[in-house]
Structure formats: structure tokens, C-alpha cells
A and B are shown apart, each in its own frame.
Chain A
Amino acid sequence: QKEVEQNSGPLSVPEGAIASLNCTYSDRGSQSFFWYRQYSGKSPELIMSIYSNGDKEDGRFTAQLNKASQYVSLLIRDSQPSDSATYLCAVTVNFGNEKLTFGTGTRLTIIP
């Protein structure tokens, strides 16, 4: 079983709609959860971090965490063509050693 799993996609969403990205993780001791956006040929860009159960909103982005289900998601409202990218879910297990374990990413395409 992979430590962090994401649907590879591609996921196609019409412009203006809500894009929903999902991630599951295997280690119940996981402490911190992150979403990164990576455009082709570029480096990962941090867009959201979440540490406790529930929702966290930042602009058009909402991260949701459910530790009991070992599930974290990212919602993108009012999707724009510039949101087309690969979205990476990342998890850390230990406070004190925050090495990130990444999923393989979901490729999102926003259709104008």
C-alpha cells in the first residue's frame, strides 16, 4: 500500500466550477498535511497546510482533513484556467522530522 495515494487523473473541470481533489494516507501517526501545486517544468508551490480535523479556507481554496478516515481533500472554487496544474498531497509523520511524503499528484485541467 502506498503511503500517500491520489487519483492520478487527469481531472477535467469546467471554468467556474468546483474542483475536488482527494488524498488518503496510510500512517495514522501523520501529523501535518499539505497541498502543493506544480506547473509543468516548475517547482512545487505551497498552497495550503492543515493540521487539525475540519476545514481550512484560504481564498478560493478549502482544505478538509478527517484523521479518523485518513483522508484529506482540496476544493478549488470558481476554477480558473490558471488553476490547471498537478496538485500534490504531502504528509509528515513526526514533529521534529518534517520530511514530506508525497502522493504522485493529480493532474487538473480547467476547461474554458
Chain B
Amino acid sequence: NAGVMQNPRHLVRRRGQEARLRCSPMKGHSHVYWYRQLPEEGLKFMVYLQKENIIDESGMPKERFSAEFPKEGPSILRIQQVVRGDSAAYFCASSPMDRYEQYFGPGTRLTVT
């Protein structure tokens, strides 16, 4: 059973560009969560999605950040007009509908130059 998949694993963007991070949950998992880990800081919740629905986006910055989990295809975290402060590791986690354990993908390390 393949785990949570994220791509790309490393992403370099110049200030002002857009970053798109993809996450495919584990097979059978319908819940997707995005977390961000800034250098030397803890993991922070960003957004919780189910298919075609955003359940909780209380951790998302108000501007430039958006997320979706379409009926078909991976979940996407989109960061517009990136700034240096967006440099971080972005992790996706998934869980099945009837359990609470979340399993993390390998992460995308975003570097903004």
C-alpha cells in the first residue's frame, strides 16, 4: 500500500513566482491535511480538506495561499507571489474517514530566492 505522495520534493522559486505543491493521499484515505514547518520551528496546521470541500482553513494565511482537493486528482496547495518567509517544509497528511491517525508524506521543501 503506497504511502502519501508529495511532489515535487524540492522546489525553488524566485520572489513573486507561484508555487504549486501536490499531495496524493494514501489509498482509501479521504481526508487531507496540510502543515507547514518553518526552519527550527514546530509543525503548524494550515488546512483540512475532504474531496471538493475545505473543512477548516483556519491556519492558512489570509492572502496568497489557497488549497483544493478536487474530485479527481491530487490535493494542491498553491502559493502565489512567494516571499522569502514562505521558505519552509510543507507536509501533507492523510487519514481514512473512520479513523483519526494521520500519516505524513515526505514533504516539499520550498526555497524562495
- Minimum C-beta distance from B76 to chain A (A): 19
Does B11 make an interface contact (CB < 8 A)? Answer: no
Interface: A62 (CB within 8 A):
no
Could you give, for residues 73-113 of chain B, a 1 whenever the CB lies within 8 Å of some chain A CB and a 0 otherwise? 00000000000000000010101000011111111000000
Q: A43-B91, A44-B91 are in contact. Are A101 and B104 (CB under 8 A)?
A: no
A44-B91, A46-B103, A88-B43 in contact; A100/B33 too (CB < 8 A)? yes
Contact B104 A43 (CB under 8 A): yes
Residue B65 is within 8 A (CB to CB) of chain A in the complex: no
Given contacts A43-B104, A43-B107, A92-B100, contact A99 B43 (CB under 8 A): no
Interface size on A, residues (CB 8 A): 23
Please pick, from B45, B48, B100, B105, the residue contacting A43 in the complex, using a CB distance under 8 A: B105
Main secondary structure of the interface of B (DSSP, over half): strand
A-facing mask of B33-48, CB < 8 A → 1, else 0? Answer: 1010000011111001
B22 contacts the other chain (Cβ, under 8 Å)?
no
Other 13 A-B pairs with CB < 8 A, given A46-B101, A98-B33, A99-B58:
A43-B91, A44-B91, A88-B42, A90-B43, A92-B100, A98-B95, A98-B100, A98-B102, A99-B48, A100-B35, A102-B42, A102-B43, A103-B42
Q: Which A residues are closer than 8 A to B by beta carbons?
A: 32, 34, 36, 42-46, 49, 51, 88, 90, 92, 95, 97-105
What 9 pairs between A and B have smallest CB-CB spacing? A104-B42, A102-B43, A43-B104, A99-B45, A32-B100, A43-B107, A44-B104, A98-B100, A102-B42
